[in-house]
Each structure stands twice: as structure tokens, then as C-alpha cells.
Amino acid sequence: MSVLKPRDAKETAEAVAWAAAEGASLEVVAGGTKRALGRPMKTDHVLDVSQLEGIVAYEPAELVLTARPGEKLASIAAELDKNRQVLSFEPPDWRALLGARGEATLGGLIACNLAGSRRVRAGSARDYVLGFSAVNGFGDIWKAGGKVVKNVTGYDMGKLQAGAYGTLSALTELTLKVMPKPETACTLVLHGLADEVAIQTLAKALNSPFEVSGAAHLPPSAARRSKAGAVAAGSGAATALRLEGPLPSVAYRADALEKLVGRGARLNETETQVFWSEVGAVQPLLEQGLRVVWRLCPTPSMSPSVAHSIRGALPSAEFYFDWGGGLIWLSLDAEQAGADAGARIVRRAPKSGHATLIAAPEALRATVPVFEPLSAAVAELTARVKKGFDPRGILNPGRMYQGL
């Protein structure tokens, strides 16, 4: 096995073309912080694109940033911050969750389509991909989209590329829409709500005109582990609503929201930062011995009943809710979850949506379908799409589905 380290798009294409000719499979990797995400692979070689780095262009007034996939997220964030801008979808830091070290890169973030709590208002990584270039399994460099914020020329390939876990093409350059950083932020925390009431409260807040940009509910055990004082201090469940924007607006909306949902504690800007970083990083469920962690996206209003039915069958279940109930983070005792990591129970609980096995030992991720099994019609389309990008199946084979 060798590690191929191309320095530019052309060398990336040469490496893939060579692998295609040899019929050799490639693991596409840059920072490597998400290697434990998805199904484990045994590839012939590693395509390390970490040297495809650098910010190619950044025009704050155009809200457009172009960078290479190996560029570290931290350096992109720092550059954006100089102009008081951000990646609006709030990239979460899953390193602790996945037991990874090192620096996350832009390519991995987009390939896995990750987003933090602001997703409920701002959308996900896929919503900010304006254009990209990449190398497909034919070894061709190709591009799609553009470098302006509004574009419908041709199919929206960026959506497909985001969340494909590197199975369709290896990215060589990305153009993203960036947004202004909110001037300030605060969080309203309500204590002691039962899960059902809490999710209804979050929905009420999200349907209010007060522009809630984070809506999470932590049952008591998860709330206790928060480092944000006012969240842990309540000694019970914590239901959190974030407001961001210009100072006078946030102050007004916080009062108005409190009138709507009831009085609570307030986190200031720094505490707000600490708390929502924790929520994005799944910190409230970490460091509890041998556990497996699932990420469920059910119909938001159904999330309490989904979580409770899982806990009914697997009493070790701990969980919390983000995205107004649209996201459940679920941790199970590994032993109790058993040989299928709890998949049978976890996947039966929601009537719609999907569940992904995020953190689990490699052996489990090799046998339990990590991604929600697809309907026959969608599976067929997925296989055909994969074939259209990578007919020999050399790019991250099996990362999402066995045999693909």
C-alpha cells in the first residue's frame, strides 16, 4: 500500500487515473479526523489530498471564499473572522466524539456535509457550496457550479458532492458562500421541562418571528455535563434557545421570546459560545465508558416519542435534542446495545427520517449498516449515480454502503 500525496489537481487526476487503470482502490483523506466516520474500508492505497491546501480567493464583499480541500478549517475560520464573517452552518467539531486527533479540513467537512446547531435556521454545509472542482473515478478533472452566490447553471452537483463521503469524486477546490458573523448572541435557558413539552416549546419559538438560531433540549443527565454554568446549575433538564444579531435586536427579541415561552436564565455571549460548541461536539454524551453513539434525524415533533421508545427497550440510552427536535444524539451502553449496536431498535423507532451510527468500534461499523438502509428504488438510483462518477468503484469503496 502506498500513500499518494498529490500537490495539485493535475497530480490528483494522475493518481486516480493510475489507480483506475490498475483497478486499485483509494481512500481519500486530508486531515484524517473523520476516518472513523462511516464504514471501515480496506483500500489498496491512500490518496492524501492534504497538500492541496490554501485559500485561493476570498472576497468578503462578495460573500465568496474559494479554498482547496486540504485547507484547515481553523485557518479558514481565522481568515473569515478578520472580516467578521463565518461559515454560517456552524461546522461542528467531532474530534472527541470520533476519538480523532489533528486538524479538520474543508474537504472532509463538505464531504460529510456536517452542520451545527444553526442548521435549524441557516441550513447545512450543502446549502453553502457554490461550486467546486474534483476528480472523478475516470481520472477526469471536472467542475460544477460557479464562484458567485446565485447560480442555477447546470445540475446542482455541489449538493450531491456534499455528503457523498468522497465516494463520487475527490475534491480539489471548493467555493463557498460565507456570511457575516452575528454581532452578538445570547441564549435563553428554560429549566425542568419534560421532553415533550420542551420540543413543543422549541417549535413554538422557531415559529415565532424572533429568529431563533439554535434550539436544543438537554434532559437532566446531559444538562448536568455542560460546562456552561447556567445550563448545569438548573439540576434538571435545560431547554436552550439562541438569538443572534445586532445588539438592540437581540436584547429586544430575548425579552419578547421570554414573554412567549416563559422566564429563564440567560447565557451571555461567551457562555453562549461555550454551550453551543458543546452541543455541536456532542460533549454532553461523551466520556462515559464503552458506548456507541447514534445520530437520528426523525420528524422533529416525533423526537421525544422516538427517544423514549428506544430508552424503553435499551435503558442505558442517554440522549439530547438539537435542531428543534430534528436531531437526536443518542448514546447507548455498548454491551447492552449488543452485536447490532442497537440498530434494530434504533431504526425501528422513528416512522420517518434516518439514523446513522456515528461512533462505534470498527468491527461494529463493518457489520452494522452505518447509514440508514435505502428503499429499493433509492438504492438502485444510488448505485447508478455512483457508477456514473466512479464506474470501477475505486474512490472510497464501501464507505457508505457495502459494495458501492
Long-range contacts of 11-16 (CB under 8 A, 24+ apart): 12/47, 12/49, 12/52, 12/135, 12/141, 12/170, 12/172, 13/135, 13/139, 13/140, 13/141, 14/139, 15/47, 16/47, 16/135, 16/136, 16/137, 16/139, 16/170, 16/394, 16/395
Nearer to another protein, 2 or 287 (CB): 2
Closest CA to 165 of 37, 252, 253: 37
CB of 290 to another protein, least distance (A): 27
Query: Grid coordinates standing for 68?
Result: 482547496
Nearer to another protein, 232 or 254 (CB): 254
Nearer to another protein, 113 or 331 (CB): 113
E-assigned strands of 178-317?
179-180, 184-191, 212-218, 238-245, 265-267, 291-297
Please report how many Cα atoms fall inside a 13 Å half-sphere around the Cα of residue 361, on the Cβ side.
13
The secondary element (H helix, E strand) that includes residue 142 is: strand 141-145
Nearer to another protein, 363 or 378 (CB): 378
How far is Cα 166 from Cα 69, in angstroms, rounded to an integer? 11
CB of 234 to another protein, least distance (A): 25
CB of 29 to another protein, least distance (A): 13
CB of 68 to another protein, least distance (A): 16
Please list, in sequence order, all residues whose beta carbon lies within 8 angstroms of the beta carbon of residue 202, skipping any fewer than 6 positions away.
Answer: 215, 216, 217, 239, 241, 321, 324, 325
- Partners of 238 in the β-ladder: 191, 218
One-character DSSP codes across 3-41 = EE--SSHHHHHHHHHHHHHHT--EEEESS-TTTTSSS--
Q: How far is CA 60 from the centre of its chain?
A: 25
How far is Cα 167 from Cα 7, in angstroms, rounded to an integer? 21
Nearer to another protein, 89 or 275 (CB): 89
How far is Cα 143 from Cα 108, in angstroms, rounded to an integer? 18
CB of 199 to another protein, least distance (A): 9
Nearer to another protein, 77 or 290 (CB): 77
Nearer to another protein, 209 or 403 (CB): 209
How far is Cα 101 from Cα 137, in angstroms, rounded to an integer? 29
Buried b (16+ CB within 10 A) or exposed e, 377-403: eeeeebeeebeebbebbbbbbbbbbee
CB of 203 to another protein, least distance (A): 5
Nearer to another protein, 277 or 356 (CB): 356
Nearer to another protein, 5 or 224 (CB): 5
How far is Cα 329 from Cα 53, in angstroms, rounded to an integer? 32
Nearer to another protein, 236 or 269 (CB): 269
